[in-house]
Amino acid sequence: MRASVLALAGTAAALTDIEHKRFMLKNIDPIVFPGKYVSHMHSFYGSDVVTKDLPTTAQLQQGCPSGENPNDLSIYWAPTLYYVNGDNYTEIVPATFKTYYEQIDHAEIPFPKDFHMVAGNASAKSQADIDEKLTAITWWCDGNGPEDRNSRPRAAFPRSTCSAHMQAILRFPDCVDPASIATYTYAAAHGGRCPAGMKRMPSLRFSVGEGYSFHGDFVNGWFDDAQQNLLKAKGQSFMRIDGSHGMGKQFSKCKAKDADPENGTSDYLTSLKMMKMSS
């Protein structure tokens, strides 16, 4: 069974999607633990400028993108998935990782400069710790199943081995206060509208992580002209997002790589030791 890290389009009227290749596996989380090597393992997709320090939009735009749109130098990361057999930990490499930008018909503004956000609850241990109506966190078997979502907590792993891929989905907040970009929420938490003083952004979805504690992180690295083109997707079922840095659906010729290879670790057991040393 392979995990397919694939965001789903749902029923949105206007959307675009971007496939990304993973370029780094590391024990950092620039949003939750900025400046430190104390995080659990994460898989990184997008601009390869990212290090332990929280990057700005301008800094991300100096990097090499691992995604298929050269106008999107955002950085995305999610927990790395492992198969555990006794004392052995084997990484499960996602078959696919895609980000979907949807509900563009409802968007009022593009993502603000330097905007970053987190979705999901890294401390969740049960379905009760998750608000599925907002985050939509769900695991299921793609293809021929087996289908068991109605007989188990939806954020838990399937109870039987999948015949093809195992998939998950996570939805990010879509409302932000332009005057205080650290303040964001879900329109769905407020009757489908953003609270007073907040504006609606495109809705970002992708799949992440491991069980109930699935979560994902995003830092905006989109170029301004491409974001304006993104908003023009309103009224269309799908739109390729082009921009001054190239056409969408086109991988860059550069090769994304770890910008800080001498620090941190990509080894799971070593990351556990580093976490214990910091506690």
DSSP code string of 257-278: --S-TTSS-S-HHHHHHHHHHH
Distance CA 219, CA 204 (A): 12
Q: Are strands 97-102 and 2-6 parallel, antiparallel or unpaired?
A: parallel
Query: Hey, what are 35's tokens?
Result: 């400046």
136: buried, middle or exposed (CB in 10 Å: 19+, 13-18, 0-12)? buried
Dihedrals φ, ψ of 99, to 5°? -105, 135
pLDDT computed for residue 163 by the predictor: 80
Distance CA 62, CA 256 (A): 12
Task: Provide the β-strand partners of residue 90.
Answer: 83
Map residue 269 onto helix, strand or coil.
helix
Which residues, in sequence order, are CB contacts of 262 under 8 Å at separation 6+? Answer: none
Residue 202 DSSP symbol: P
Q: Do the Cβ atoms of 202 and 104 come closer than 8 Å?
A: yes
Kindly give the confidence (pLDDT) of every residue in the chain, 279 residues in length, as a single tens digit, with 9 standing for 90 and above. 344 444 333 344 578 999 999 999 999 999 999 999 999 999 999 999 999 999 999 999 999 999 999 999 999 999 998 888 888 888 888 878 999 999 999 999 999 999 999 998 777 777 877 777 788 777 878 777 778 778 777 777 788 888 877 788 889 999 999 999 999 999 999 999 999 999 999 999 976 454 555 789 999 999 999 999 999 887 778 889 999 999 999 999 999 999 999 999 999 999 999 998 876
C-alpha closest to that of 74 among 58, 87, 85: 58
pLDDT computed for residue 146 by the predictor: 78
Task: Provide the β-strand partners of residue 46.
Answer: 75
User: What is the helix (H) or strand (E) element at residue 58, kind and residue range?
Assistant: helix 57-60
Q: Are strands 2-6 and 165-171 parallel, antiparallel or unpaired?
A: parallel
pLDDT computed for residue 160 by the predictor: 82
Distance CA 279, CA 269 (A): 16
pLDDT computed for residue 219 by the predictor: 98
Dihedrals φ, ψ of 188, to 5°? -65, -20
pLDDT computed for residue 10 by the predictor: 38
Number of domains in the chain: 1
Burial 146-167 (b: 16+ CB within 10 A, else e): eeeeeeebebbbbeeebeebbb
- Please give the angle made by the CA atoms of 107, 215 and 230, to the nearest 5 degrees: 25
Q: How many residues does the chain have?
A: 279
> Which range of residues forms the domain containing residue 20?
2-278
